[in-house]
A and B are shown apart, each in its own frame.
Chain A
Amino acid sequence: MTDTTPEGPLLEMRGVTKSFRGARALDDATMTVGRHQIRALIGQNGAGKSTLIKILTGVYRRDGGEVRLDGRPVDFRSTADAQKSGVVTIYQEVNLVPKLSVAENIFLGRFPRRRGLVDWATMRAGARDALATLSLDIDVTRPLGSYRVATQQMTAIARAVSLEARLLVLDEPTSSLAEREVETLFGVMRSLRDSGVSMVFVSHRMDELYEICEDVTVLRDGRTVAEESLASLNQYELVSKMLGRAAEQVASGARPAARPRQQAEPVLSVTNAASAPRLRDASIDVYAGQVQGVAGLLGSGRSELLRSVFGADPLDSGEIKVNGDRPSLRTPGEAIANRLAFLTEDRRAEGIVPHMSVRDNLTLALLPKLTRRGIVDRKRQRQIVTDYIARLGIKAQADQPIVELSGGNQQKVLLARWLATEPAVLLLDEPTRGIDVSAKAEILALVDKLAADGMGVLLVSSELEEVVSACDDVTVLRDGVSVARVSLDRLSEESLMAVMASGEAVPSSDVPQKDNADD
């Protein structure tokens, strides 16, 4: 700001590469941020956005390439290092300390001192000043955690302002904000830009990008595929760059014929389900013999829908029918008794029992059925385990602790855990997350076969490619509401992404909640 030669871009990242344990996360990534500019950074999950940001802000060290700030090469070793040069990140989940006061958070790590003691008065005044630049007037002595997420985010931005940030990286800041709060945030972003701060803005919501950003950097598979002005690209062109396909392909679904429904009535029918805070009004039908997909952005309520159906989260309102009946499904136990099965998205935190054997892990949900007069039928247990290890090609010994297996094999054991209960409906939450390509293919092939054999499958995935190739029909969730259904003949990654991002249906898809008459 006081620089006398503010010519050229503020930030230049060229040919940045980064690998993790041999896997390429970034492979020639480039991003340029001008002065007084808000630049959008977009890409599919796994395209390398987070990695690029983390290299910029000193969390990771790059393997190769060049980063220049103000034309001078920089190599940040830590976030503190980056902050000293005025590069500050605001994460989607505010990474400050909820139990400390707002003022303490703004001055975290640099408390003003007087004779060796903390100068509270100066700190409070400084905090108030910083918040005032964002036109925010709150009690800075209250704990940060007592405020709404939006206010917490503003506090994080105020902290950045008081750090004299020149480049602010906003990583999906809007994903947990209400619409009005988003407007406030955009107002703050604009006034920051006018006062000379540049920003990198990450969001999956196309409408937001067009509203607040001038330019866009598109990452795909770790490479920058476009650095352009947003004005020169329409939404479909942007999405097609993200996905790497021609824009004309938008409406063409390249899938084989749909699997036939095996019954006229859905095996699982959810109507107007709500579960605070994320799931607001979701309706979805699952038919025996078909794979019903659920697509939506992070935080759109995808997992919450499955969890509340399965009794893992409380269902506040709505109706769930299984085979036409309305059973009580308040606990996983009741759900299992009604032949539902739920594969969690977080294998480590709530799937595997790490030091337990593959055998016991695999039969955990089956335990009641294996018990005759209080005694576990170990012989039958061994048979079932041997059976599933062979059937799913699990590479493990039955008495090996499951934690020793690879991610893909762990996932197969968990899948077997549920298949062994012979469910009518299989709820799959990100079934291929964090596993290698071949295990992924095997699991998807298995899902296909299960559906063909008459199971109803509900599949949540953030990988659109997976949704498109595996599902017969997809329900799109946005902000906890099922906003659209896209059936197989119109199913493509582009059409889904467009609906997910805009909340509006693509020209060719049918919108409303439910249609029993369709197909």
Chain B
Amino acid sequence: MTDLATRPAAASVLRNTDWPSFIRRYGAAIVLALLVLFNIIFTDNFLDLRNILFVQLRQAAPTAIVALGMALVIATGGIDLSVGAVVALSGQVTAVFLLDGVPPLVALPIGILVGVAAGLFNGTLVSRFGIQPMIATLVLFTAGRGLAQVVTGGRIQTVNQPIVEFLGLGVIAGLPISVFSLIVITIAIVLVTRFTPAGTKLLAVGGNERAAGLVGIRTKRVKTMAYVVAGGLAGFVGLLELGRIQASDATNAGLNMELDAIAAVAVAGTTLAGGTFSPGRTIIGVLMLRLLQNTLVAHGIPREVAQIAQGLIIVAAIYLLRRSRDAR
């Protein structure tokens, strides 16, 4: 009797779970966990704290910061293709100022301001002029990197200054600066979206812009702000990248970072249509894709093949997104 009663119940729990939706939400975390497990067993010294903090996480942190900004923009139903170029531009502008002897206390904020200005430009094109986000941000995607090259005259110049060295190699509270910044920024974003009206407004605009307008939300301003924050974060990452390379490199700084960020948001299970935002899952998405690359390469698989694997993961994520019940 009890057997008959309980067994169908267990079966129905399994049957009633919306599996595509479950995998969409937690798939990236599951894959990440499997990758970690695999590495613990098969990769030498993986669990070494130095490896985790100063190799794996430090590599992933800049992309993760950019991805958080991207997730904000995607939450409004937009996309920002320019962030990689903005990383380059901000780094180059800062480098040039530093090389000219401008004190770091001025030069570094200017780098961030460059990103904010770029975000304002993108946001204005999208919200005031109604240009499609992909086209609007394509402008700075190409022009931004071009501008960066003009600023540095196309040369790679080493920037040997203590502040740049600190950005690249410094440690705060036992953490690399990039990892420390990621933690601070994540906490800030979580606090703001949870405790101020900003988070609700963001999701309302992304979820139903017309409805948001009718309840008095200034939808244009909200959208612009998302691009501004994304730009500012990209500007900050430009500084981190300057520190990592210890040189101005307009060609390679932040290269493809926008694509890695979009991929991370997608595998995190966020609909690109807008209306959802999950900082935690976005970061897990970045870590998962990065560790996947590193694992494959560390085990002798050529980088090109590893990239194909990443592509397949993204396809799987998007397929699940379409299949799951609560996404449209």
Contact = CB atoms under 8 A, between A and B. Distances in A.
Are A and B a genuine interacting pair, yes or no? Answer: yes
Contacts, number: 81
B213 A332 contact: yes
Interface string B181-206: 00000000000000111001101100
B3 interface: no
B326 interface: yes
Contact of B197 (A332, A336, A355, A376): A376
Most buried by B among A365, A370, A376, A403: A376
B92 interface: no
B238 interface: no
Contact of B218 (A333, A335, A370): A333
Nearest to B328: A354
A444 interface: no
Given A333-B218, A376-B195, A353 B212 contact: yes
5 contacts: A331-B216, A333-B218, A354-B207, A356-B200, A375-B195
A350 B207 CA distance: 10
A337 B203 CA distance: 22
B105 interface: no
Contact of B204 (A333, A337, A344, A356): A356
Interface string A333-351: 1011100001010000111
Contact of B196 (A312, A349, A376): A376
Given A368-B197, A374-B196, A355 B216 contact: no
B326 A351 contact: no
B325 to A, nearest CB: 10
Contacts of B195: 375-376
Contact of A350 (B196, B210, B326, B328): B210
Nearest to A359: B200
Contacts of B201: 367
Given A350-B208, A355-B207, A375-B195, A332 B200 contact: no
Contacts of A356: 200, 203-204, 207, 275
A360 interface: yes
B211 A352 contact: yes
A336 B215 CA distance: 8
B214 interface: yes
A371 interface: yes
Contacts of B203: 353, 356, 360
Contacts of A353: 203-204, 207-208, 211-212, 275
A364 B203 CA distance: 11
A15 interface: no
Given A350-B208, A353-B275, A360 B200 contact: yes
A35 interface: no
A336 B214 CA distance: 9
A417 interface: yes
Contacts of A376: 195-197, 200
A417 B215 CA distance: 9
A342 B210 CA distance: 13
Contacts of A360: 200, 203-204
Given A344-B214, A349-B210, A401-B326, A354 B275 contact: yes
B328 A332 contact: no
Interface of B: 195-197, 200-201, 203-204, 207-208, 210-218, 275-276, 326, 328
Contacts of A350: 208, 210-211, 213-214
A352 B204 CA distance: 9
A351 B212 CA distance: 8
A364 B218 contact: no
B196 A371 contact: yes
Contact of B200 (A344, A364, A374, A417): A364
Contacts of A365: 215-216
B208 A354 contact: yes
Interface string A391-420: 000000000010100000000000001000
A312 B200 contact: no
Contacts of A403: 326
B275 A336 contact: no
B113 to A, nearest CB: 24
B17 to A, nearest CB: 16
B159 to A, nearest CB: 39
Contacts of B196: 371, 374-376
Contacts of A344: 211, 214
Contacts of A332: 213-216
A447 B204 CA distance: 27
B61 to A, nearest CB: 28
A367 B203 CA distance: 13
Given A367-B197, A374-B196, A351 B211 contact: yes
A349 B214 CA distance: 11
Q: Which A-B residue pairs are the 8 nearest by beta carbons? A: A333-B216, A350-B210, A353-B207, A365-B215, A353-B208, A364-B215, A336-B216, A367-B197
B22 to A, nearest CB: 16
A344 B208 CA distance: 13
Interface in A426-471: none
Nearest to B195: A375
A38 to B, nearest CB: 40
Most buried by A among B204, B207, B213: B207
Given A364-B204, A368-B197, A401-B326, A355 B214 contact: no
Nearest to B207: A353
B275 A355 contact: yes
A347 to B, nearest CB: 9
A342 B214 contact: yes
A403 B213 CA distance: 19
B292 to A, nearest CB: 29
Most buried by A among B204, B208, B212: B208
Most buried by A among B197, B207, B215, B275: B215
Nearest to A337: B216
A353 B201 CA distance: 11
Contacts of B212: 353, 364
B137 to A, nearest CB: 25
Interface string A297-340: 00000000000001010000000000000000001110111000
A15 to B, nearest CB: 40
B196 to A, nearest CB: 5
A367 B217 CA distance: 9
Nearest to A307: B214
Contacts of B216: 331-333, 335-337, 365, 368
Contacts of A371: 196-197
Given A350-B213, A355-B276, A376-B197, 14 more contacts: A332-B213, A335-B216, A336-B215, A353-B208, A355-B275, A355-B326, A356-B200, A356-B275, A360-B200, A364-B204, A365-B215, A368-B197, A371-B196, A417-B215
B275 to A, nearest CB: 5
Interface in A193-207: none
B316 to A, nearest CB: 22
Nearest to A365: B215
Given A353-B204, A356-B204, A371-B196, A312 B213 contact: yes
A242 to B, nearest CB: 34
